[in-house]
A and B are shown apart, each in its own frame.
Chain A
Amino acid sequence: MTEITNLEITSKDWKVDVKPTWCPGCGHFGVLSAAKKGVIDVQWLPHNTVVVSGIGCSSNIPHFMGGYGIHTLHGRANPVAEAIKLSNPDLNVIVSGGDGDGLGIGLAGFVHAARRNFDLTYIVMDNQVYGLTVNQTSPTSSIGRVTRSTPYGNIERPLNPIMMALAAGATFVARTLSSDGKHFQEVVKKAMEHKGYSFIDALSPCVTFNRVNTKDYWKERVYRLEDTDYKPDDFMSAMSKAQEFGDKVPIGVFYQEDTSLYSDMDETNKRVKNVVKNGAHKLTAETRAKIIKDFV
């Protein structure tokens, strides 16, 4: 890693007055702190960065991050982010939200944003429970989990976010742990630097409603892919690695691939580069004539 000296953008630039409203000890604090370090590591200007979120405890993150923030509807962060990125590709766009938000109600948006390879960094703050609505099962809750919506235990197989992201065609797929600040910072930096759709499954315990998948629970199980000889350049190995989710849970980058970005291939952007900066214009006389010719 190259050492960056003379940082232009510092935490001062990203300072905000709004204090997080999460429960003390909530895993989401770790996500926030790593993301704030990440934007400084990659030197993103706050006014050129948009943090897009859905709805949930996790989705409150834009208010605490700084930069431009848009706190959308439940499950809708991805399509909103796609529009922002395609309209103004010069912006840095972070997408964030809970596992319920992104893998439940917002699943379609996530899958399609990923397969289109928009240049977005999507952090799913995965606590395996619905926090804001006060303890129901989520798409990633493990079998047998007792929540208020599953008083007799969860009987649905959990969705595997890493496999899901890989299958959808995300070009950067990683997992990290909110309590491992250093690892998170490294992963989020790589994700932000990646040109394409980056997906991070951020294990981020809910201290209030999930007494099973706690910080200690993960500490005992995770190991870093970087410490092994695993190489994140092969799709099939990534798929099989993704299935490891039990006594041992790998964290780190599962997969990374360089391929064309949606916004680079889009016909309009090829012609005008950035529609917001290009501005709103009347048809030119030439285009007008061309259109009229087709309809007489």
Chain B
Amino acid sequence: MVNEINIRISGQNGDGIFSSGETLAKICSRSGLVVHGSRSYQSIIRGGHVSYSVRAANHEVRAPADYIDVLIALRGDSFLVDVPLMMKSGGIVLFDSKGSRIKNTDAPDGVILVDMPASEIASRFSDLKIMMNTVLVGASIALYNLDLSIFTDLLAHTFVNKSAEVISTNISAAEAGYKWAKENVKLIEHDITFTTGTETIFLGGNEALALGMLNSGLQSFAYYPMTPATPVGLWLSKYGPMSGCTVKQMEDEINVANYAVGAGYAGARSACATSGGGFALMTEAIGFAAMIEAPVVFIEVARGGPSTGLPTKTEQGDLNQLFGASQGDFPRAIIAQTGVKDGFYLGHEALNIAEKYQIPVLIASDLYMGEHFETLEDLDFDKIPIERGKLIMDTIPEDQRPYKRYIDTEDGISPRTIPGVEGGQHDAGSDEHDEFGNLVSDRRSGYPEAIEVRIQQMKKRMKKMDYLLKELPAPQVEGASADEAKILVVGWGSTLDTIREARSQLEKEGVKTAQLHIKYVLPFHADEVKEILNTYNDKGVKILMVEANFTGQMARYIRAETSFEIKEKYLRYEGENMLPREVLAAMKEVL
């Protein structure tokens, strides 16, 4: 008896894998389940081997599944990639040896091979090859006894702009596949309850960020296509204009970043997104934003590096790049996205922090985080209000002119005028400048007064970090106390739920565990983190760092900030999504 649905559909690029996978995911979501969808693909447009995995249950499923129970294998390579790595006894492979010309069907012992005449069934309704997917999706949901009408409703919804004939042939194909499976395959026993009538939004991590920002008054977004960050821009290109946000694809990431700074300076809530290589090009503008105190959110969705690296694989390898982006010392926030739903709220939070502190806010995401999908139950669109900080839109009184845009204040944040505000004119200088914005880099440079200005302005800008740190919630340990826990797992960003699930598996075996997860990377709660690590360490709890990069970038950072060295590390850099069972194995290794 299983309590989860775990279906994967795999085949070649161009086989319609992603749309079929998404259909499966939505069928599960519309059946009242919590759904997790994830993809695997390569950097080519046709061919290769791609898959879409759907995991669904009545309980929380927020990490990729350890195994798949039903595989829809559209190509022979499914037996080389998905079957050996992801299937075990009891799993079912649905395939069509004749229609898909699959010869080699090696599989682990106990895996049930269901050779289904899907292509022939599909041909009764249409000549289109893609109809076979509809038949197979129909068959796979029959195995779980999901309601066929949910699938057929979804087909009607998907093809709403097509002819009635298209809709009816698709529905017939779905029905035929469903019927065939019911008649020919032993159905999967499960205790999952399905409920209809639920409408839960199903979104990717990238899109959730985009939606969150748009709901937080985003007014300007710029990008240049780069996997895996592109979906943020594509999503906003469609929905931005519906909510007062301009979206601009630029000629390169250097100009994306500078554009984003210009928009922030002009008074628009501004953001941009890219991946590692593009981020490298953006860096000079990040310091520029900090220098002229323009609020901008920079989203970095990492993929496997270095160089163009692994364009379609995941990695947490760009943390050092975020720390090191741009020359000199300046205030910046680095916040890691820890979940799809977290992305929705983070979109609000990042824009608020950028505007309140007038600093660049860098969001650290990665391919897994950005490109996997989840149902987002109970999204609260009103939870986080729009905060614009010390933004001045009213005419500046005579006695405050010329305007001191960079006036030194208690918290380092100066009231900000934007072009159009009468009397607020000033020069926003990327060179070091005084309170008016006038340069101290040229004629005045080296004079005692200029030296004082330099010190004043550096301190003024950097003070913001202290105030921001106070506002950010300190990380807290989840799980067992230092007295009870056998192991403390430390992670950051996208691995939150995968580590949680690995821990719960170990807990089921009777081992008490704990977890420290970092979301607010900079400014950093060094004292609190140090305290936690020392407390657990002093009690003899094993401490394990889990992160997806070669050198343990976060572990090194923690060591630099707290002088605590986490010796045990589970480091991943081959690019695949981290699975709970893999983290579990790493935990067991150190115990």
Q: A interface vs B, CB < 8 Å?
A: 16-18, 21, 45-50, 52, 55, 60, 62-63, 66-73, 76, 78-84, 86-88, 90-91, 108-109, 111-112, 266-272, 275-284, 287-288, 290-292, 295-296
Contact = CB atoms under 8 A, between A and B. Distances in A.
B265 A80 contact: yes
A272 B244 contact: yes
B266 A296 contact: no
Given A80-B261, A88-B419, A276-B267, A283 B439 contact: no
B258 A76 contact: yes
Given A79-B255, A80-B261, A82-B262, 6 more contacts: A21-B443, A47-B419, A69-B427, A280-B216, A281-B217, A295-B203
Contacts of A49: 419
Contacts of A295: 201-203, 207
Contacts of B60: none
A63 B429 contact: yes
Nearest to B384: A282
A97 to B, nearest CB: 12
A118 to B, nearest CB: 11
A46 B402 CA distance: 12
Interface in B375-427: 381-382, 386, 388, 402, 418-427
Contact of B262 (A66, A80, A288): A80
A270 B241 CA distance: 9
A291 B246 contact: no
A296 B245 contact: no
Contact of B430 (A67, A72, A276, A292): A72
A270 B288 CA distance: 31
Contact of A73 (B215, B247, B285, B382): B285
Given A70-B292, A83-B262, A282-B382, A275 B439 contact: no
Interface SS of chain B: helix, strand, loop or mixed? Answer: mixed
Nearest to A288: B381
Interface residues on B, range: 35 or more
B267 A88 contact: yes
Nearest to B429: A71
A270 B244 CA distance: 10
Contacts of B285: 73, 76
A16 to B, nearest CB: 8
A79 B199 contact: no
A55 B430 contact: yes
B30 A280 contact: no
B241 A267 contact: yes
Nearest to A109: B255
B268 A276 contact: yes
B12 interface: no
A112 B258 CA distance: 14
A66 B431 CA distance: 18
A80 B425 contact: no
B392 to A, nearest CB: 12
B246 A71 contact: no
B36 interface: no
B219 interface: yes
Nearest to B214: A283
7 contacts: A70-B265, A71-B439, A87-B246, A87-B262, A275-B219, A275-B268, A295-B203
